[in-house]
Amino acid sequence: MQRHLPFERGVNFRDFGGYDTADGARVKWRKLFRCGHLAKLSESDQATLESLQLGFVCDFRSERENEKLPPRLSAALMERRILLNIWPKSSRTIGDMMRRLAAGEITDEEIYHGQNVIYREFVTDFAAHYGRMFARLLQAEGQPILIHCTAGKDRTGLGAALILSALGVPEGVIVDDYLISNGCPILREEIFAIVRRSHELKADDEPRFMRLLGARADSLHAAFAAIAQTSGSVDGYLADSLGVSARDRDNLRRWYLEA
């Protein structure tokens, strides 16, 4: 089954099904989707999106991001969309970080550290938001769903990690799925376009900026560490902070797993 769907201008759009769980089941394909912003979808992309028959669209972006990059969705999908408005207090735009980096005001190491702080804030400050994601997922009762943010790697990355965790997928597999974002040509193109506004970007500079601005395993590990610190385990976080009961998880597994 193809993980990346044939979108012309869909940013980082992929299926995050198909993974084996620790107890030998498998996440169903064509049920769970993730991506970046939907502002540049072509007419063909919109038709492809409609063909997925989504039960809902979960948008983690802030209101400001939505104003800047409004989604190109049908009226029907706009009605099935929830806006969760996640913007941690430590967050900075890529453009701002690159300007400060060019001016010598921050270092690569400070950007690395700051990204991990943001992931911990996802866990500690936005549990209610991810809880709403799960509430909507449960209401979907097995329908295909889409979660997204601007790049489809950070807020969406944690959302996908939590869903896969609830379904019983091992953490190592979840991290591997998270890192797939770095190979998306459209996402790389968008990242490098922003970098070029303040830096002269040469081909041999690209790995450095992908390390700075792409998906990094240490960031997701920082989120899992925050979960362990606050709740003892992912299971505890799902139950105590997100309100996902054992019965809820049984239902999710019944709807989204296959033998």
Determine, yes or no, domain membership for 2: no
Q: How far apart are CA 48 and CA 51, in angstroms?
A: 5
Q: Which of 35, 58, 149, 184 is catalytic?
A: 149
Determine, yes or no, domain membership for 235: yes
User: DSSP 3-state assignment of 15?
Assistant: strand
Determine, yes or no, domain membership for 7: no
Residue 171 token pair: 């953490």
Q: Give which of 89, 57, 93, 52 is closest to 72, Cα–Cα.
A: 57
pLDDT digits (tens, 9 = 90+) for 31-48: 999 999 999 999 999 999
Determine, yes or no, domain membership for 139: yes
pLDDT digits (tens, 9 = 90+) for 123-170: 999 999 999 999 999 999 999 999 999 999 999 999 999 999 999 999
pLDDT digits (tens, 9 = 90+) for 182-241: 999 999 999 999 999 999 988 899 999 999 999 999 999 999 999 999 999 999 999 999
Determine, yes or no, domain membership for 4: no
Strands (DSSP E) along 78-218, which ranges? 81-83, 145-148
Q: What is the CATH number of the domain that holds 168?
A: 3.90.190.10
Residue 21 token pair: 């769980």
What is the pTM (predicted TM-score) of this model?
0.97
Determine, yes or no, domain membership for 110: yes
Determine, yes or no, domain membership for 71: yes
Residue 2 reports pLDDT greater than 90: no
Cβ atoms of residues 88 and 177 within 8 Å: no
Determine, yes or no, domain membership for 8: no
Domain count, the chain: 1
Known active-site residue 149: yes
**Containing domain of residue 71, as a range?**
14-258
